[in-house]
Amino acid sequence: MASEHTVLQFSSSSSASLSAKVHPLVIFNICDCYVRRPDQADRVIGTLLGSILPDGTVDIRNSYAVPHSESSDQVALDIDYHHNMLISHQKVNPKEVIVGWYSTGLGVTGGSALIHEFYSREVSNPVHLTVDTGFSTGEGTIKAYVSVNLSLGDRQLAAQFQEIPLDLRMVEAERVGCM
């Protein structure tokens, strides 16, 4: 007698080969926003800007913080502020588009899925960059994630964050003093 098997699969059309490069300015911006955050805020979140290179690599070149508030079961983003910042930024850097979002802290939290859902409406397959500004592992850990769907046949059951390769990218002017 043949047994039936239930097959769960991750559907990620491009995440297997997806990688990201982040410029040092982005990390400095994130750390600066974290230091200036309101006293009651546990973390800072914001928008990542850049482009997709011909090889599919996400090139993260700039960022801005987005005011928000969050509790254990909800997150409220200041969407008007986000859109106004994007419009202002694109007047100066028209080739840079939204490529994802960032948050401070170690790894992905429950509220991350809600924020990622918002950015998924702004751009397809956004990158989620995390920066451990609290040095909870003894060092400043920086990771990048994308969302992959867990599906049963044609039915999507859930989404999961999958870490992707991340490189710190410097141009020659940023290398001054680096050995």
- Indicate if the pLDDT at residue 17 is higher than 90: no
Pairing of strands 20-22, 166-168: parallel
| The pLDDT value given to residue 137 | 74
Can you give the pTM of this predicted structure?
A: 0.83
| The pLDDT value given to residue 25 | 93
167-173's contacts with Cβ under 8 Å and 24+ in sequence apart are 167/19, 167/20, 167/21, 167/22, 168/21, 168/22, 168/23, 168/24, 168/27, 168/142, 169/21, 169/22, 169/23, 169/59, 170/23, 170/24, 171/23
User: Measured between alpha carbons, how far is 78 from 150 in angstroms, rounded to an integer?
Assistant: 30
Poorest-pLDDT segment among 6-10, 18-22, 149-153:
6-10
**Average pLDDT of span 15-24:** 83
pLDDT, greater one: 130 or 9: 130
pLDDT, greater one: 159 or 36: 36
| The pLDDT value given to residue 168 | 87
- Indicate if the pLDDT at residue 9 is higher than 70: no
**Average pLDDT of span 18-35:** 94
Q: What is the DSSP string of 93-105?
A: -TT-EEEEEEEES
**Average pLDDT of span 21-43:** 92
- Indicate if the pLDDT at residue 4 is higher than 90: no
Buried b (16+ CB within 10 A) or exposed e, 159-169: bebeebebeeb
Structural domains for the chain: 16-169 (3.40.140.10)
Cα 37 from chain centroid (whole Å): 19
The three-state secondary structure class of 160 is strand
User: Measured between alpha carbons, how far is 128 from 110 in angstroms, rounded to an integer?
Assistant: 13
